[in-house]
Structure 1
Amino acid sequence: MAHGEHKYQVQVRWTGNRGSGTSGYGAYGRDHVIRADGKPEIAGSADPAFRGDARRWNPEDLLVASASACHKLWYLHLCADAGIVVLDYVDNAEGTMAEAPGRFTAIVLRPDVVIGAGGDPDEAKRLHHVAHGKCYIANSVNFPITCEPTIRLASG
């Protein structure tokens, strides 16, 4: 492995065999379990539009969550380095996928960030742009990921 290179190993095990395997499109379940050493399992399926279980995470959910989490982790790092105290961070992210040709067309991140009194809201907002440039998910996909942050100062 090259210096600075990281590898990630997961196991995805299909659990949707209803007794006849993939003998027909409607004959099998889309359920699976995602595993990685030392981590809780993730119950997965397809999106309900594709015969999946709405109670389980689907790849589309996980892609949007990955983009949001990656951005958040970089943003918190940059704020800590800049002396901006983040007290709360909630992102209501949304992804759009086009069935034809079968690809994501956009993800919009909408982080609502509360920073400590005395913090610089303009700098806090600017750091979202920097975080976006460092996010490996945003740098790896072939569709736009945009960020529409809201920065609020803590009261009191």
Structure 2
Amino acid sequence: MGVTTHDYTATLAWEGSTALGYEHYDRGHAAGVGGEQLELSADPSFGGDPARLNPEQLLLAAASSCQLLSFLAVAARARLDVVGYRDAAQAVMDEADPPLRVGRITLRPEVTVRGDVPDSRIHHLLEVAHRECFVARSLTSEVVIEATVVRAT
């Protein structure tokens, strides 16, 4: 079987003027991803519109989504019956640690399972999923998993 390459595309558009300096230009812009149009801005701390998503939030959402999808794949291959998954993820960018970057992402999945499976097995599968997550493997940020297991009734 041959090697397969996956290519991803996105479009981005911004119009305005930076002539009046850093404090005065509009950070709003539009991104097209997979046929969807996203209205984005900078984090409000950097002059952005708080009503719009920012790149840091999208990075966090991508890490959280990838962990979910990787875990579901690992769990399905292991015949584990996962019936729910919620995450309260957090990304931290510390201005006291230049250069600025998202230095830590904490994923807090709450995994609901059915059946008699030890918590240790579920946590192991979460770690396997983390190692298989394409997004986490692409980041230099520390990605931490703090999982909770819930039993389905």
* Structure 1 position 58, deviation (Å): 0.4
Identify the match of residue 74 of structure 2 among 75, 78, 81: 78
Identify the match of residue 87 of structure 2 among 85, 88, 91: 91
CA distance in 2, matches of 1:134, 1:41: 29
Deviations 1:107-145 (A, max 9, x none): 110000111133443322210100011111111111210
Aligned residues: 149
CA distance in 1, matches of 2:5, 2:137: 15
2:39 maps to 43
The amino acid across from 1:97 in the alignment is M
CA distance in 2, matches of 1:27, 1:6: 39
Q: CA RMSD in A?
A: 1.5
Give the percent of matched residue pairs that are identical in Structure 1 and Structure 2.
36
1:5 maps to 5
The amino acid across from 1:30 in the alignment is R
TM normalised by structure 1 equals 0.89
The amino acid across from 2:11 in the alignment is Q
The amino acid across from 2:38 in the alignment is I
Secondary structure of 1:103's counterpart equals coil
Residue 99 (structure 2) pairs with residue 101 (structure 1): yes
CA distance in 2, matches of 1:137, 1:36: 16
Secondary structure of 2:68's counterpart equals helix
The amino acid across from 1:36 in the alignment is V
2:114 maps to 116
Secondary structure of 2:92's counterpart equals strand
TM normalised by structure 2 equals 0.90
1:110·1:147 contact (CA, 8 Å) conserved in 2?
yes
* Structure 1 position 9, deviation (Å): 0.5
1:31·1:45 contact (CA, 8 Å) conserved in 2?
yes
Residue 28 (structure 2) pairs with residue 31 (structure 1): yes
* Structure 1 position 86, deviation (Å): 1.2
Residue 148 (structure 2) pairs with residue 150 (structure 1): yes
Off by >4 Å, runs of 4+ in structure 1: none
Q: Which runs of 5+ in 2 are unaligned?
A: none
Residue 122 (structure 2) pairs with residue 127 (structure 1): no
Q: Which runs of 5+ in 1 are unaligned?
A: none
Secondary structure of 1:139's counterpart equals helix
